[in-house]
Amino acid sequence: MKDVSSLMQSRIKGNYVALFNSIAQVAADYQVGVYVVGGFVRDLLLNTKNLDIDLVIEGDAISFTKKLAEKFDGQVESYEKFGTSTLRLEGRISIDVATARTEYYSYPAALPEVKPSKIKSDLFRRDFTINSMAIKLAGQGEFFLIDLFNGEVDLKNGLIRVLHDRSFVDDPCRIFRAIRFEQRFDFCIEDKTKKFINKAVESSLIAQLSGDRLINEIKILLNESSQVKCVDRMRELSILQTIAPEIFVDDFHWIVMEKLESALVWADMLLMPKKPEVWFVYFYTLFMVTKDEVFKGMMERLHFPRNIYSRMCSERECLTSAKQDLNKKKELKPSEVYDIFSKQSSETVVLLLAICSSERVKKYAELYFEKYSMSAKIELNGDDLIGMGIKPGPIFNDILKALCDARVNGQVKSREEEIILVRSRFVK
Ligand code: ATP
């Protein structure tokens, strides 16, 4: 076993030193084995920053976390059903604490049944060799790397390798995880592991995942910085075709997908009130199909959660109507541009740009965010209108719309000019 104490000392800095010392102290008080595992160990060996610590306790994780939280002023969230806790500390440090466990899968893609165990069995239930290393934090064997599956060698050789033949049968989510780590670190999925993926895909194991789990994995994948490469890898491994044969049937998907990155960079420079959710723009593009009935059929078949289903449908409607409105006339008045863009989410704006790919859409969106959305502010309010002798009713909306249009079109620039407009058009 390799001693990694000097590596820990050289790479663990600042708040983490006190944190790891306290973990070791609580472990000694409780007389339980405590290990840091998974991504944190992998990233420590890769010398990559990782603020998420996963601890495994050979004992009760929840009471351990509460004890740890007393030492730090942290927030604990416990999940009794799973015997796990999360401790959140200042500076975005988050610690997940779990009881060491063995997992059993009663059928492919089922949620596992779990039983408390020792660290070795806990490491065996993990996804890849590079994620199955641990470091003991206190007691005998302190700061030695526990690497039962040659994870360190695979890390050096840049390989993503499962621990056993049935890994993807037990949990097909690992197929997406394999792509995620492969693309993130620019690694390769090891040959046998790739064969297991092919077999799992051919046996339609992905179709056995619930809509929730499928969405969750794709969402995490599309939050990586190499989305297009991840999607391309899914296509290469026939995963996309298995999820939905309707998608990626022509080049249009790739053309849009490749434009999303620059559309997002452009959107980042705009004064948008809410920044777009990156995963969603890629997700929408992934499931973009031309025909309405094909789109609806696919959405229903995939059993996506209700909120995602409605979000996809409303995104489609918004995009279609925005495209039609933008194409109606060659030159739009500022108030018409305002009307179109004020109804759109930031995700729709990014998608519009990538799909239409026109300088005109870009110019209008820039004008909207940089100019019109700010000049649309009206000074008169309902009380002012009542003070002018106008009775409250639907007419108020017409007046406010007329004032907003006039502001955006630059016909009105002050409260006084607003009053003149209302008097001339709405007061008999
Ligand atoms: P990231 O840097 O993306 O957070 P991570 O390795 O920390 O990577 P998590 O999803 O937080 O990934 O999972 C933590 C650890 O739990 C993993 O390193 C792995 O050991 C284990 N793990 C997570 N999901 C699975 C799974 N589906 N099957 C087996 N082991 C898993």
Summarize pLDDT for 54-104 with one digit per residue, the tens: 999 999 999 999 988 888 778 899 998 888 999 998 877 889 999 998 877
190 band by pLDDT with thresholds 50, 70 and 90: very high
> What is the distance between the alpha carbons of residues 98 and 78, in angstroms, rounded to a whole number?
10
Residue 171 CB less than 6 A away from ligand 1: yes
291 CA → ligand 1 middle, Å: 38
39 CA → ligand 1 middle, Å: 6
286 CA → ligand 1 middle, Å: 24
Residue 217 CB less than 6 A away from ligand 1: no
> What is the distance between the alpha carbons of residues 74 and 67, in angstroms, rounded to a whole number?
11
Per residue in 9-25, pLDDT tens? 777 776 677 788 888 88
What's residue 82's pLDDT?
Answer: 82
- For residue 132, give the ligand 1 atom closest to its CA: 20
Per residue in 340-372, pLDDT tens? 999 999 999 999 999 887 888 899 999 999 999
What's residue 248's pLDDT?
Answer: 82
412 band by pLDDT with thresholds 50, 70 and 90: very high
Is 80 exceeded by the pLDDT of residue 108?
no
Q: In sequence order, which ranges of 203-250 are alpha helices (DSSP H)?
A: 211-222, 227-236, 239-243
Residue 172 CB less than 6 A away from ligand 1: no
Residue 198: count other Cβ atoms within 10 Å of its Cβ. Answer: 14
49 CA → ligand 1 middle, Å: 16
CB 173 within 8 A of CB 217: yes
> What is the distance between the alpha carbons of residues 422 and 424, in angstroms, rounded to a whole number?
6
> What is the distance between the alpha carbons of residues 326 and 357, in angstroms, rounded to a whole number?
13
Residue 203: count other Cβ atoms within 10 Å of its Cβ. Answer: 15
**For the chain, which domains are there?**
2-157 (3.30.460.10), 160-243 (1.10.110.30), 244-373 (1.20.58), 382-426 (no CATH)
Q: Which one is predicted more confidently, 281 or 246?
A: 281
Residue 101 CB less than 6 A away from ligand 1: no
Residue 167 CB less than 6 A away from ligand 1: no
Q: What DSSP string runs through 291-327?
A: -HHHHHHHHHHTT--HHHHHHHHHHHHHHHHHHHHHH
Is 90 exceeded by the pLDDT of residue 111?
no
Average pLDDT for 395-404 = 94
219 CA → ligand 1 middle, Å: 15
Average pLDDT, the chain: 90
What's residue 299's pLDDT?
Answer: 87
Residue % of the chain over a pLDDT of 70: 99
421 band by pLDDT with thresholds 50, 70 and 90: very high
What is the 3-state composition of the chain as percent helix, strand, coil, each rounded to the nearest 5?
55, 10, 30
Residue 87 CB less than 6 A away from ligand 1: no
292 CA → ligand 1 middle, Å: 37
pTM for this entry: 0.88
Is 80 exceeded by the pLDDT of residue 115?
no
106 CA → ligand 1 middle, Å: 21
235 band by pLDDT with thresholds 50, 70 and 90: very high
What's residue 135's pLDDT?
Answer: 94
Residue 311 CB less than 6 A away from ligand 1: no
249 band by pLDDT with thresholds 50, 70 and 90: confident
CB 332 within 8 A of CB 408: no
> What is the distance between the alpha carbons of residues 403 and 277, in angstroms, rounded to a whole number?
33
